[in-house]
Homo-oligomer: A and B are copies of this chain.
């Protein structure tokens, strides 16, 4: 599946690190992974890996260093608030080996929300930015995120993460978009598997996925074709429908999102 291979011209890759004990304990359900995955696909960046780690500096630093060497971009969510368990900015500074101090640009942004007397030492923790970073604006609550090297540091609160992503996205290099065509079949995937495997051999440049689901007590399957070449994708889709006809399941199949 060449589209999935690392490298390749025009392919821009990314990883995501979700930071927070509360996700690992199950207390908070993550709502950022799916949002960021979909966003990346839409703008032409391939999300290749996600890691969820706790509020532990060594683990954050290790994940940052492993992933920023392996992918074009690394996004993080969580751990940039004012409390003692917010250690993402410090961890990023440590990973890059740069100092971290209160950043006057960040303080200026926060003044739009807070009066000088309310900019307490605690709140100013949110203005601590690793040296050399560019800020990412937060139109919801002002305390900014930042981008340093290929690492993009965002808040964990979904609404705030989302406005930060909108602010930083235009600065990112994007590549060829991965287009998809999906067909939903109300049959277990086993019924289509041999035909699909043969089709995959024939269209080795169009990765084909088969995703089972369970609905109203029955198994069904979403078949998904992926390519950045629209013409090739339509050829493969036509061949897929012929295969579904041949296997006698076209009557329980329909185009899906």
Contact = CB atoms under 8 A, between A and B. Distances in A.
Interface of A: 4, 18, 20-30, 33-41, 46-56, 59, 81-86, 120-123, 125-126, 140-141, 156-160, 178, 180, 182, 188-190, 192-194, 196-197, 200, 207-214, 219, 222, 224, 226
Given A81-B210, A197-B83, A39 B59 contact: no
Q: How many copies does the complex hold?
A: 2
A20 to B, nearest CB: 8
A193 B84 contact: yes
B49 A59 contact: yes
A55 B208 CA distance: 11
Q: Binding site of A, secondary structure by majority: helix, strand, loop or mixed?
A: mixed
Nearest to A159: B214
Given A52-B49, A83-B197, A196-B83, A178 B211 contact: no
Contacts of A126: 190
A222 B141 CA distance: 17
A207 B21 CA distance: 10
Contacts of A51: 49-52
A193 B82 contact: yes
B22 A189 contact: no
